[in-house]
Amino acid sequence: MSFLSRIMVVKSKAHFSAGGSNRPGEVNGTFVGSRKKSGSQARSRVAIMIFGFTAFYCVIGGRLVQYGLAQPDTVSSIGRADNLMASRPDILDRNGEILATDIRTVSLYAEPNKIVDADEAVEQLSTVLPNLNVADIYNKLKSKSRFQWLRRQLTPKQQSEILALGIPGIGFRPEKRRFYPGGPTAAHIVGHVNVDNRGIAGMERYIDSQGLADLAAIGMTSDAKLEPVKLSIDLRVQNIVRDSVLNAMTEYQAIAAGAVVMDVHTGEILGMASVPDYDPNNPAGGAQEGWMNRMSNGTFEMGSTFKSFTTAMALDSGKVTLKDSFDARFPIRIGGFTIKDFHGKHRVLTVPEIFQYSSNIGTAKMADIVGIDAHKEFLTRIGLLSKMQTELPEVKMPSQPRVWKKINSITISFGHGVSTTPLQTAVAGAALINGGKLIEPTFLPRTVDEADAVAVPVIKKSTSDDMRYLFRYNGIYGSGKNALVPGYNVGGKTGTADKVVNGRYAHDLNFNAFLAGFPIDNPRYIVLSFIDAPKTGEKGVRTAAGNAAPIVRNIISRSAPLLGVEPKFGEDGSALLVSY
């Protein structure tokens, strides 16, 4: 068989093998069926792919909706949202003037797990917040936590500028910020709150102690406006008191000063200030010196103001009367100490003269007649040896000798050896002139009836009458002359005490005070001032008569008309003096 013949045989076999038949049209039918089958399979695959993509995107969309509706996770570093938004009640003065209120603000936070570039984020934030602690913020942004506070209580401008930066993972949370319109005017009374709007000083802390803090802790507070808390203070009087002590501290070159005005019949505090002080809108700026409320949380030897209590004790005991006299010619020597008078008259003095000339010798002899135990009991009864009870949290316990000996009783009689707070001294002083009732002070409104319900009689009414006479006598003829205000019948007692430095009395450093009442013929208010370590005073007098008394004069002359106390003048226009 030739080569060509073999090729034809192979082609013929291939033809029959492929077609399976040599009938016309059978090969074309086979190819058409194959195309139909392939098209159906393709359509099925496309449908499956469309369904898969649709299901995939539905799952993604569903998860996005779920995330959008879900509540944000609570993080241990902060409380719940309702806690952060909890309102505090406004604080008002007795006339309805706002002393403290809430304002809305925002705080800046970060979600570190969403921060793309911590270095860049810190750099951008520093352009808006130049005093930012870069290292601290960087560590927060690099942490593995899901929430970090970056800066609390931003201004609207800061919020706007940070928003413009467009930093991913940075957000804002609405909060409340406490605002004090008067700034430092009543700082030590009103107090302040921390960054979480919780009271930590003054009446702000007192309000929390009455249940507000507990409600906030369990989430039972809301954004609703709360009933305001009205205080007893008069903002006008408060401003006068602070202005007077602040000016005195500067003028007399002292390290501190303070004063209080209190209603002797209700115990209401109308005004009280201690300087240096601070702005409760920026508590950190006050440092340690400004935070110290020396009126209620500082104890001092009150000097000769204590002679008021020693004299009242002697009169109330019945062993001494205003007509009695004591020999003040010679110093008292006891236990290695010599007790003498600062301005001695070196003669026998009547009780009014002992008070007028502030005789240490005469006062010590009156205390000796009463006795050590009775002396201690009287000071305890009148509230000078126990911790004072009032709403203000910052109250210090007085100090006294562990064992009272005769030398202790003698020195305590003229104001050395016992340390009390100035406010406590004013409260005890009120009892000397209000008829003999000890009324604990209050920073909340109180009526006379309410005060009488809690008042404790501590001295006889006759003793109180005698003390009003002595206060007025000293105000006209003694060391209280520098506190006189024409028409207002001011009476009082000065006190100049040497300060204790390194366990020894420093004769060149004084703690001066003045305790006064007005109008002394029918007392309505007690005023006490103090000035710590003054270097000068009026006419160069560094004792209490030259600086503590003028503070009282300034306060009374400016505040008495506001308090409704009418001056008394004679037909010739001169001030009327009280006669007894």
| Active site members | 304
Largest Cα separation within the chain, whole Å, is 173
Q: How many residues does the chain have?
A: 580
Question: Do 518 and 488 contact (CB within 8 A), yes or no?
Answer: yes
Assigned token pair, 458? 């501590």
DSSP state of 488: S
What sign does the dihedral 433-357-304-307 (CA atoms) show? negative
The phi and psi torsions of 504 (rounded to 5 degrees) equal: -130, 150
* 3-state SS string for 193-214: ECCCCCEEEHHHHHHHHHHHHH
Q: 3-state class of 174 per DSSP?
A: strand
Distance separating alpha carbons of residues 457 and 205, to the nearest angstrom:
31
The tokens for 472 are: 């007025």
Measured at the alpha carbon of residue 497, what is the angle toward residues 336 and 246, in degrees to the nearest 5? Answer: 165
Select from 337, 343, 339 the least CA-distant residue to 364.
339
Q: What is the DSSP letter of 569?
A: B
Whether 99 contacts 92, CB under 8 Å: yes
* CA–CA distance, 436 with 428 (Å, rounded to integer): 10
Q: Which helix (H) or strand (E) holds 141?
A: helix 134-142
